Structure 1
């Protein structure tokens, strides 16, 4: 039996950074039932930069005190997502770097309205697999706040 590195264990909730978007200190809910990760965004505007598709959007950080942060990222695709209640929705998909604890790797994020949700970001199973993480749902904030700074992206 292989031993499990505690650095690869996450709880039900964790602190994350999205340094390429300039987002530091965001609480994320870990959701093994969701395939794709999702970020609360509004004012989503597709545009072209150097002939390539990009998207501009406002990300919302914090739950009690709303902080807004304007972001731009290359557009990966437009994807139809089926929610847990059975509704289908078309969402923009971006790729960006995620930092969790001392780990950092690229993930895909859908941009969605999560204003009624407690957590502004959902970390889905594809990102967990790519990061080689194991979930202990009985715990929260297992990992320290990310160690990488914006300059390390």
Structure 2
């Protein structure tokens, strides 16, 4: 067929990937890709609510790999989010750019205690929608650096 257009499809990701949150100065966060979860989640402990230029912000601590990072982000909401155990928790939700592979987009991320979880971050279907396809048979498909991250080998 002449004049055929090549359509670019979504990027393929594995069931786990490294994620960057550049405005929070967080890079190489090991994340589980979870199409069953609606909202993305980050292991974070809220320290305080603040205001900047009339906008609500939240200051929070993120820790993994033995390091604590103090971050600030626009505070979008406090929502009831149902966790995998079926319990609903009230969580702060922030909005910040997220990078997976070469795709950068703004994502809503809830802050939760993920200390009992294997991954400090979970990427939910709202972040995946129309951007990524998940191939659950693979890991680290979009990882640029082939390094060991917190016991995870890409």
TM-score, scaled relative to structure 2: 0.84
Equivalent position SS for 1:126? helix
Report if the CA contact (8 A) 2:46-2:58 is conserved: no
Identify, as 1 or 2, the structure richer in helix: 1
User: Which residue is equivalent to 1:141?
Assistant: 140
Distance in 2 of aligned mates of 1:59 and 1:27: 13
* C-alpha distance 3-144 of structure 1, shift in aligned 2 (>3 A): farther
Q: 1:47, CA displacement in angstroms?
A: 1.7
Distance in 1 of aligned mates of 2:60 and 2:122: 17
User: Which residue is equivalent to 1:83?
Assistant: 83
CA RMSD, aligned part only? 2.0
Q: Greater CA radius of gyration, 1 or 2?
A: 2
Deviates more, 1:79-88 or 1:43-52: 43-52
Structure 1, residues 26-74: CA drift from partner, whole Å, max 9, x if none?
Answer: 1110011100000001143112222321100001133xxx211000011
Equivalent position SS for 1:144? coil
User: Which residue is equivalent to 1:26?
Assistant: 29
Deviates more, 1:133-142 or 1:36-45: 36-45
Q: 1:102, CA displacement in angstroms?
A: 0.9
How many residues of Structure 1 are paired with residues of Structure 2 in the alignment? 141
Unaligned runs of 5+ in 2: 146-154
Stretches (4+) displaced over 3 A: 2-7
Distance in 2 of aligned mates of 1:34 and 1:44: 25
Unaligned runs of 5+ in 1: 147-153
Structure 1, residues 68-99: CA drift from partner, whole Å, max 9, x if none?
Answer: 10000111111100112221110001001111
TM-score, scaled relative to structure 1: 0.85
